[in-house]
Structures are given as C-alpha cells and as structure tokens.
Amino acid sequence: MKKLLVVLLAVVVVLSFAKTKLVFWSFMIDDKLWQDIYSQFQKEYPDIEVDFTQLSWANGFDKIVTAIAAGAAPDVVELGNTWVAKFAEDGAIYALSNEEEKMFKDYVGFNTTAYKGKHYGYIWLVGTRAMYYNIDLFVRAGLDPMNPPKTWSETLEAAKKIDALGDDIYGFGLPAGENYSPWQQWFLPAVWGNGGKVVCGADYDKACFNSPKVKEAAKFYQELAKYSLKTKQSDIEKAFGEGRVGMYVGGQWVIGMLNSTYPDLNYWVALVPKPDKGGFHASFAGGEVLAITTQTKNYEAAKKLAYFLLRSDIAMKITKTYAGVVYPSDPKALYDPWFKDNPLHIVFFEQAKTAVPTPPTPAWPKIQALVTEAIEKIILDNADVNKVLDEYNTKIQEVLDEYK
C-alpha cells in the first residue's frame, strides 16, 4: 500500500510540473532574437514550452502548406497577410471570436485579416509605403519642401517641374519590369484611394478592373509616367539616392539603406497623395499575421503565446532589431521613444492606418500577375487605358471563374 501511495504521489508531482508544449514557426524572428523574447515568455508562462523554428522566405510558404497537408502543422505560425484567405478557405487556421474582434479592431492592419465576414489570425507586424521626396530637387524646381504634394494634380505638377531640371533627372519613379512592385507601390493604392477595386462582389467573384474609378486612376498614372523613371524598384531607389529622382513611393525599410549608402542625401517622406476630389491617402498594407492552426491540441496555450507576441513591448523588439522594417500592429507602440528618435518612421506608421490589403480571394496570386501586365502596357507601351482595362478585366474574370 505504501509503495502504491509513493507511486501515485510521484505521478502527481510529475504531472504538476509537466509543461504544455507548443511549436511556433516565424519568418521575422531569428534564433538570437527568439532567445531574448523567449526568456521573457518563460518568466511569465513557466508552464509552457515552445519549440521555435525560423522559416525562410524562399521556401517557408511551401513548408507550411506541406506540414498542414501532412497533419504536422505548428500550433502558431506567422503568415503573410496575403496568404490568410488561402489558409482560411482551407480551414487550416482559426477565426477570431466576436470578443477578440472587439479587442483587436483598432490594431493597425486589422482589416488585412478579413475573409468572408470573419477575421482569421491576429495582425502582428505591419509595413506599408509612403512617398519619398528629394528636398534639394524641390528647392531647385521652385517647390516648397515643407509642403509636399498631397493630391494627384499637385504631384503631377511637381513631377513636371522636377523633370524639366535636366535630361538625367526625373520627376517621379514608377516601378516596372518585375512581379510585385508595379502594383504594390502605387498603382493599386491609387485605385483604392480613388474608390476603385480590382475585384468586387460579396464573395469577391466579380472583376471590376474596368470601372470608371479604376480608369480614372490609370489615366492619371499614365500621365505621370511621362515624367517618370520607369524601371525596377531597386534601380529607382538607387537613382533617388543619387539625386536623380524627385519623388517615388517605397517602403520604410529603404530608410536604413538611404542613410548608410547616401549619407548626404537631403530627403523626407510624406503620405501617398490622394485623388483631388474625395478619396484618401491609400497605400499597400503589408503585414505579418499570427495564426493558430486548427491542428493544435493546445489552443488556449497557443492563444497565450500569440497574445504575448502581440504586445507592443515585445513586437517593438523586432522593430528595433531590424531598424524599422516592420512595426507593431498595437497602436500603443507609437508612444515608444524609438519613434521620437526615428521621426521618418512616424510617417509610415501613420500611413499604415489607411493602408489597404489585397482582396481576400485565393485567386489573388494569379490576378496580381495580370494586374502587373496591364500596368506595364499602360506606362511602358502608352497603350489605350480603356482597351487595356477591358482586356484584363476579362482575363481577371476568367481566373475568378476558376475558383467558383
């Protein structure tokens, strides 16, 4: 009897000290940063053990898909916000509860997790684009650098004046010749800011790429292209650093490169210009989402990990480690002293509040390639805007029909 009692007591002791084990996969955290974050997590949640893996952007998406298909998904995983629709449609990740939607509705980028009336995963880190402009070129062109363009017409007028400064100087920089930047940097944000859409309908199953609002934005973009350097985004950034481009739209991660490679460059950033009548300062909403997979056996523990990582003090560790490549979604992060020491980033954080995500449809990867083709015909070939948008509206509808 005594032996049995000792065995039972031993079992109780073992169970009382047993830890819940979680698996967490992330792109934005490396092993060194994870050790810093995890040490704090362990202090607050000593009963939860986390097995961490850093994913590669080269093959991370495929690894997640493969793991889910094999029934070996991590408990918590970082997803790009453009992937949310796919994993939600597949039933691979949990939707937020009504209570959670109320908790996180004011987080920057919350709209990027929406799919068919629900929100999937927690918006964690955000990034967007703003307009860079060369102060010295503004002065030479007779423009007020303290009052950068706020509207399309003001931008076009400024681009004309800067472009007239010399043969090797361009008023603006518009990306072309690559997959994503042609639509991310400004074309689609211009469409969105003007009230236009690429796809519409309750189920995002109807193409509306040739609507009047889209055509209006495209015609402005084509006119701006006359005074622009049209090349790959990296080449535009180089030309801007060399003082040959007056304005361009780019991400906050470029700040570090410009400051280190072109220390004498006199520049600033502003919100992306909006349409002259109505509309808003739209930008592309990039972001990282923490999702709890439906394969987890420890849902409550997984939520504790996600909530911990969402905190502004924890997410700011990532911002500071990577020099502002991404920002916390928690709006309280703006009060961190780091932003006072890095005022350019404040503009991007404010711009992120009006950033727009891509349409939440699994068809988007195919659609975005068509949008890029259309943009390049408009700005490189100077093709008729109406004909191009009609042509590609038909192609987009064909893609959407594949998913019905």
Which pLDDT value is given to residue 2?
Answer: 53
Same domain, residue pair 279 and 366: yes
Beta-carbon contacts of residue 352 (< 8 Å; ≥ 6 apart): 108, 109, 126, 127, 128, 283, 285, 327
Same domain, residue pair 78 and 191: no
Residue among 348, 326, 346, 350 at smallest CA distance from 337: 346
Return the number of other C-beta atoms located less than 10 Å from residue 119's C-beta: 23
For residue 6, is pLDDT > 80?
no
pLDDT-derived band at 82 (thresholds 50, 70, 90) equals confident
Out of 34-38, 274-278, 297-301, 364-368, which region has the weakest mean confidence (pLDDT)?
364-368
For residue 11, is pLDDT > 50?
no
Which pLDDT value is given to residue 355?
Answer: 93
Same domain, residue pair 160 and 270: yes
pLDDT tens for 160-197 read 999 999 999 999 999 999 988 999 999 999 999 999 99
Residue type, position 371, single letter: V
Q: Which of 356, 377, 394 is the last residue of a domain?
A: 356
Which pLDDT value is given to residue 12?
Answer: 45
Return the number of other C-beta atoms located less than 10 Å from residue 351's C-beta: 25
Which pLDDT value is given to residue 297?
Answer: 98
For residue 362, is pLDDT > 90?
no
Residue 235's CATH number? 3.40.190.10
Same domain, residue pair 184 and 268: yes
Mean pLDDT in residue range 266-282: 97
- Distance CA(343)–CA(268), nearest Å, equals 10
Higher-scoring residue by pLDDT: 2, 157: 157
Which pLDDT value is given to residue 15?
Answer: 45
- Distance CA(202)–CA(302), nearest Å, equals 32
For residue 14, is pLDDT > 60?
no
Which pLDDT value is given to residue 3?
Answer: 56
Same domain, residue pair 232 and 372: yes
Same domain, residue pair 272 and 295: no
pLDDT-derived band at 17 (thresholds 50, 70, 90) equals low
pLDDT-derived band at 13 (thresholds 50, 70, 90) equals very low
Same domain, residue pair 242 and 337: no
CB burial of residue 87 (10 Å; 0-12, 13-18, 19+): buried
pLDDT tens for 279-306 read 999 999 989 999 999 999 999 999 999 9
Residues of the chain above pLDDT 70, percent: 96
Question: Cα dist. 355→129, 224, 376, 383 in Å?
Answer: 8, 22, 23, 29
Which pLDDT value is given to residue 16?
Answer: 44
pLDDT-derived band at 7 (thresholds 50, 70, 90) equals very low
Orientation angle between helical segments 152-163 and 212-225, nearest 10 degrees: 20
Higher-scoring residue by pLDDT: 276, 17: 276
Which pLDDT value is given to residue 324?
Answer: 87
What is the average pLDDT score of the chain?
94
Same domain, residue pair 145 and 184: yes
Q: Which DSSP helix (H) or strand (E) runs through 25?
A: strand 20-26
Which pLDDT value is given to residue 404?
Answer: 79
* DSSP state letter for 45: -
Same domain, residue pair 184 and 117: no
Q: Phi/psi at 252 (nearest 5 deg)?
A: -70, -20
- Distance CA(90)–CA(331), nearest Å, equals 31
Range of the domain at 279: 129-284+361-402
Q: Which of 341, 356, 371 is the last residue of a domain?
A: 356
- Distance CA(143)–CA(162), nearest Å, equals 9
Which pLDDT value is given to residue 1?
Answer: 52
Q: Which DSSP helix (H) or strand (E) runs through 228?
A: strand 228-231
pLDDT tens for 114-142 read 998 999 999 999 999 999 999 999 999 99
Same domain, residue pair 107 and 211: no
Q: Which DSSP helix (H) or strand (E) runs through 26?
A: strand 20-26
Same domain, residue pair 50 and 188: no
Q: Which DSSP helix (H) or strand (E) runs through 37?
A: helix 31-44
Q: How many structural domains does the chain have?
A: 2
Which pLDDT value is given to residue 199?
Answer: 96
Mean pLDDT in residue range 193-216: 96
Q: Which residues pair with 316 in a beta bridge?
A: none
For residue 275, is pLDDT > 50?
yes
pLDDT tens for 65-74 read 999 999 999 9
Mean pLDDT in residue range 263-271: 98
User: Which residue in this structure is represented by tokens 């985004």?
Assistant: 233
Same domain, residue pair 138 and 277: yes
